[in-house]
Amino acid sequence: MTDQTYRWIIVAAGGVIGCVAIGCMFSLPVFIIPIAEETGWTRTGISAAMTIAFLAMAAGSMVWGMLSDRFGPRAVVLAGAVILSASLWGLSMVTSLAAYQAIYGVLIGGAMAAFFAPTMATVTGWFDTHRSLAVSLVSAGMGMAPVTMSPFAAWLIAQHDWRTSYQIMAVVAAVILVPLALLLRRPPALANPAAAASLDVSGQPGMSTRGALLSAPFIVLALTNFFCCATHSGPIFHTVSYAVACGIPAMTAVTIYSVEGLAGMAGRLGFGVLADRFGAKLLLVAGLLVQAFGALGYFFAQDLAAFYSVAALFGFVYAGTMPLYAVLARENFPLRMMGTIIGGTSMAGSLGMAIGPVFGGWIFDRTGDYGWLYIASFGMGIGAFLIAMLFRPFPAQGQLRPAAG
């Protein structure tokens, strides 16, 4: 099989891996109510597990990324798959909120960091043309999580108690993730250091890792990702509960999440195609502005039709912007450090994602409503838009630029 063919297998494997892994982690909103009803734990306490998970992702993102640069994506993703599956099973046996937060937050969150940066870095290295589309396809696979894993988790909860549901999800994760991890390979260029240097689109093949992490383009990308993720983390995590509070039945409310996921798939693909033609920065800036107003739209939603409309817009733009960070990283930094760079921006994004779950739970526990969550998300979205406007690529451009396509 030629590299030109196998690179699409890498894309497919990365998309399915992301779908299953992210779906397992983001199933927590479906579990909140049954866990709270059985155990008496507060929503804030349960939601805090997600916040801890994002903090663990932040702590692990650059570490896993650096390990991927050194040992390759296969070993890193395989390790993440084993830890994730074992942790899901462990959740079924907890008897205290602290234990739940530790396993879900530290172990699952840490394992999740082993998936995103290594797979994205690998895909960017396999493609010189259609790079934005390839990265967006992997991201689209991740975006399938609300359409597949969330309804699956809701179905499990309807058929079983939450502990049994976690055990089933653990088995499903292991059966799917472990074989797919074995399909991942380093980009061919990295087998030849001289060839890899010639592919450095940054025009700075001698750049050190420390210099890259202290550079203005990296800092702006990281800050933008932080505020971008802080914008959508609360709405993603709490909208199902918000819809239930507005009188929408729980099983129907989950479909709002699915609409958001379907729109996100279209957004990832659409933004990927347009970014190959018009440039990743332009699409990122425009998407961040629309995302801010999409988050605010939830504040005014009360019935199912309104929730569907806002979810479609919000899902389309927030999902469409996310792959563009990896594209901009590949256009500005050497291939040999992609895991570290994407891991660094992912670390910032994970810190942003950590804000929404606990903040939304705190707001609800004190006000009985989620309104101020969406107003705050709008403000952070405008901040992301303004910071993204400051992004400037390195002055010297390399031999290859992403081809239109």
pLDDT in tens, 202-241: 545 567 888 888 888 999 999 999 999 999 988 888 888 8
DSSP structural state of residue 103 = I
Q: Tell me which of 40-44, 165-169, 192-196, 249-253 is least confident.
A: 192-196
Q: What are phi and psi of 161, to 5 degrees?
A: -75, 170
Report the CATH fold assignment for 3-388.
Answer: Growth Hormone; Chain: A; (1.20.1250)
pLDDT at position 1: 64
Mean pLDDT, the chain, rounded, equals 85
DSSP for 104-168? IIIIIHHHHTTTHHHHHHHHHHH-SBSHHHHHHHHHHHHHTHHHHHHHHHHHHHHHS-HHHHHHH
Domain residue ranges in the chain: 3-388
* pLDDT tens per residue across span 107-141: 999 999 899 888 888 888 888 777 888 888 888 78
Q: Tell me which of 159-168, 322-331, 353-362 is least confident.
A: 353-362
When pLDDT is averaged across residues 158-180 and rounded to a whole number, the result is 94
Residue 319: pLDDT band (50, 70, 90) is confident
Q: pTM for this structure? A: 0.73
